[in-house]
Each structure stands twice: as structure tokens, then as C-alpha cells.
Amino acid sequence: MSRKFSLVFCLMVIAALFIVACQPAAAPEKAAEEAPAEEASPKEKAFFGFVMHNFESEFSVEIKTGAEAACAEYPDSVTCEVTGPTKMDAPTAISMFESLLAKNPSGMALVPNPQDPWIPILNQYAEQAKIIMVANGDAPGTPRQAYFGADELAFGRAEAQAVIDAGITKGLVIIGSCYPPALPLQLRDQGARKVFAEYPDIVVETYDSTAEQTTNYAFWENTVTANPDIVAGIGLCTFEGPTFADLMPKLNEQGIDFVTVTADLIPETLDAVQNGFVDAAIGQHPFLQGYLPMYFMIEHVVNGAELPAGQVLLPAEIVTKENLSTVQERASDPAVALEWYKTFLAENLDSIKANVVPFTD
């Protein structure tokens, strides 16, 4: 009996094991549904500010155009604001600078003309500004990263050389400086005087010709009346081009004529070159003075590129009737100008980077 029971029991156990083995595997517990991934919030754009010294001339507007053109190349990465007072007004410009600092910029650029009021400001806000770039006028004694502008001594030499090239080797040469305290204008005056120093029969006098168009015209009108022996007039600023364009036809009718050289390639000046009322105009690429500070800051913040350290000096551009047409085409059409500068930078940017002059202050 016990053997029979044991046999039956064993058969039952084997059958039970077989049945269990043949059962389908239990479905794994459904994994808890993953919560949908949150969409990454868009990366905050870096902000850059640029404060101009004034907007009284086409020259200043072209600096602004250049700065905005650089920003427009990075629409997904940066926002920018270019501002400044209508007329030369350092306290107002400084107030605008401070307002832009409140927007937590990744870098700031500015035209610090005149220099003296800006020196304590730039030293005070260096950390808050993060990067400081200056254009059209250097700011020695401040923690600026780089300066972008003309080689001012060479610019002044080019203006004086244009007078010499026009055949003037003796007589009274009058230089008009629209804002004598500005360091760039002091350097231009020094450069011009170095050239004229080689001609002992040339007498040079420098006066404040004012930074406003109507008073600039009045200055030259009165100066010519007081100095009928003038043989050449040089403007260190942009205002003399329009002044000579209006004044010289009237003087010519009176039998008065002298060599005229001025700064900057604004439309009125180019027209005056074409009409023979300005003998030469010296350009300093204001577009690049706005474009390059923004470009280098943005490339550094967005792409980690190295910043230039020192003076980024731009070549002077001498315009006479001989090469006027090319410059006029560029000046009359912003699209042509933009393409011209793109080509210029493609050909010259590496050279510009390689020829940065270290600060000495």
C-alpha cells in the first residue's frame, strides 16, 4: 500500500511540475510611463551696448550702421543697442552708458570723446561692463580691452601731405579742429605739423572750428576774411566738407581760392570733391569703427574667440577726383557698402588682427 501511494504521489508531483513549466511566462509589469521631457528653455541671448558721442553727422551714423551690421550677423545669439546723444554731450552719453549697464551686458563699446569725463567712469564700471571696447578715440588710463580707429598721427600726416601734393610749399595754412580737447584731433594736428615742419616757409595756425555745422561755416567765413593770405585750409573733423562745399563757390566768385582738405567721406564732401571745392578728403572707415568692436566681443562671448588687446589701427583712405567714383558708389548705396566691407574684411581681417599695437599706458 505504501509503495503504491508513493508511486501515485510521485506521478502527481511530476505532473504538477510539467503543468507549471508549460504555463506562459508572466507578463512583466508594465514599466512606469516616463514623464515627457520638459522642453529646454531657449538660451538667453547675450546683450551688447554701444554708446556714441553724437549723431550730428553722417560719419557718426555710419559707425552706428557698422555696429548694428555686426549684431545682425548673430540674430539667434545676441541682442544689441546702439545709442548716444544728438549733439556732443558727455554727461548725457555717460548717463546712457550707465542705463545700458543696468541690462547686464556681456560687453560694452563706446566712443569716449572727449576723453577726460570718461576716464573715471570706465574705471568705475570695468567689472560691470565685463568687456570695454573704445572706438574713434582712445581712452588711456582706463581698462579698455581694445581701441578701434584711425592711426591719428598718420591721418594728420595724410591731410598735410595732400596740401603739399597740391603744390603748397609756403604761406599760411589754417587747421580747424572741431573739438580741441579730443585726443584724436590733437594727434591729427601733431601729425600734420610734423609734415609741415619740413617746409620752413609754411606757417601753421590751429583754431577751434566748432562741432556744429552753422558755427563751423561761420568760423571759416570769418577766418578767411581775417586772413586773406591763407593758402590752405584743413579740417580735422567731418564738418569742414559741407562748409567748404557751401563757402568756396562764394569765395571763388570774389576771386578768393585756396587748397581745401578735410576729414571723412560723407556725401556732401564727396560732392564737393567732384565739384572742385574740396581738393582731398581723408577717410577713416567709420563703418569698421562700429563693426569691429561688436564683432570681436560677440565672437569672444559666443564662440570663444580671442580678443585683441591694444590699438586696432585702420588705414586712412585718401580720396581725390581720381578715385572718387568708386567711393561715391559705396557711399550712395548701403547694400553696396556692406558688400564692399565684407570683401574688405575677407581680404584684410587677418592682417588687422596681426597688426594690433599694444597699449603703452
Asked whether residue 262 is assigned to any structural domain, the reply reads yes
Question: Does residue 32 have a pLDDT over 80?
Answer: no
The per-residue pLDDT for 10 is: 38
Strands (E), the chain: 46-51, 78-83, 107-110, 132-135, 146-150, 171-177, 202-208, 230-235, 259-263, 280-283, 310-314, 317-319
Residue 113: closest CA among 143, 93, 141: 93
Residues 176 and 266 placed together within one structural domain of the fold? yes
The per-residue pLDDT for 40 is: 56
Residues 130 and 246 placed together within one structural domain of the fold? no
Q: What is the pLDDT of residues 197-210, one digit of tens each?
A: 999 999 999 999 99
Residues 226 and 212 placed together within one structural domain of the fold? yes
pLDDT confidence bin for 355, thresholds 50/70/90: confident
Residues 145 and 158 placed together within one structural domain of the fold? no
Alpha-carbon span 235 to 263, nearest angstrom: 6
DSSP helix/strand/coil, 40:
coil
Residues 169 and 190 placed together within one structural domain of the fold? yes
Number of structural domains, the chain? 2
Mean pLDDT of 300-311: 97
Residues 92 and 119 placed together within one structural domain of the fold? yes
Residues 86 and 191 placed together within one structural domain of the fold? no
What DSSP string describes 184-195? HHHHHHHHHHHH
Mean pLDDT of 187-198: 98
The per-residue pLDDT for 38 is: 54
Place of cell 503543468: 19
Residues 135 and 64 placed together within one structural domain of the fold? yes
State the burial class of residue 241 (Cβ atoms within 10 Å of its Cβ: 0-12, 13-18, 19+).
buried
Asked whether residue 291 is assigned to any structural domain, the reply reads yes
Residues 146 and 67 placed together within one structural domain of the fold? yes
Residues 230 and 342 placed together within one structural domain of the fold? no
How much is the pTM?
0.75
Residues 225 and 337 placed together within one structural domain of the fold? no
Question: Does residue 51 have a pLDDT over 50?
Answer: yes
Asked whether residue 224 is assigned to any structural domain, the reply reads yes
Asked whether residue 319 is assigned to any structural domain, the reply reads no
Asked whether residue 21 is assigned to any structural domain, the reply reads no
Q: Of 252-261, 290-299, 332-341, where does mean pLDDT reach its minimum? A: 332-341
Alpha-carbon span 55 to 349, nearest angstrom: 27
The per-residue pLDDT for 315 is: 85
The per-residue pLDDT for 42 is: 66
The per-residue pLDDT for 86 is: 95
C-alpha cell at 341: 566691407
Asked whether residue 271 is assigned to any structural domain, the reply reads yes
Please state, for a pLDDT cut of 70, what percent of the chain lies above it: 88
Q: What is the pLDDT of residues 227-244, one digit of tens each?
A: 999 999 999 999 999 999
Asked whether residue 235 is assigned to any structural domain, the reply reads yes
Query: Which domain CATH number covers 127?
Result: 3.40.50.2300
Question: Does residue 33 have a pLDDT over 80?
Answer: no
Q: Is the peptide bond before 242 cis (omega within 30 degrees of 0)?
A: no
The per-residue pLDDT for 39 is: 56
Mean pLDDT of the chain: 90
Residues 247 and 276 placed together within one structural domain of the fold? yes
Asked whether residue 143 is assigned to any structural domain, the reply reads yes
The per-residue pLDDT for 24 is: 47
Question: Does residue 11 have a pLDDT over 80?
Answer: no
Question: Residue 345 belongs to what domain range?
Answer: 46-150+285-314+333-354
